[in-house]
Amino acid sequence: MRVQLAKQLLDRQIVDVEGRLVGRVDDVAFAVDDEGYPYVDCLLTGQGALGQRIGGRIGRLLVAVADRFTEDPPVPPLRVPLASVARVDSAVRLRCRAAELPPAPVETWLRQHLIERIPGAYRASG
């Protein structure tokens, strides 16, 4: 059976167990087991992963912009372990909440330096 990862995973939305958007699958990381067989280790999301996948000038620009919005470049992609994936349908659905994943560095920077300065940013919705 031939698995076509690009068609099945890349660019699908990643949604946590509560239905919140985590990001999109920008790349896939592989690992090799003890017997030498490759397997999908985790899904990568974020500007850094997308820029590396696209490559060329546009890819380098994406990575540079992501690095600009962090305090400790280079920006590592958010790694979503394959064990956290519940199923893949129209989206990649996770078994965990988005809050249980490591925060995306660019989003953290934007939240601290931009969103928190907006009046009413902490107002409870409801």
What does each of the 126 residues of the chain score in pLDDT, given as a tens digit? 345 776 788 889 999 999 998 889 998 988 999 999 988 889 998 888 888 888 899 989 888 888 887 777 787 888 899 899 999 998 999 999 988 887 777 777 777 777 888 887 666 554
Alpha helix locations (H) across 1-126?
5-8, 47-54, 56-68, 105-113
Which pLDDT score, from 0 to 100, does residue 122 have?
67
Residue 88 pairs in a beta bridge with 92
Given strand 85-88, what is the order of strands in its sheet? 21-24, 13-15, 92-94, 85-88
SS3 66: helix
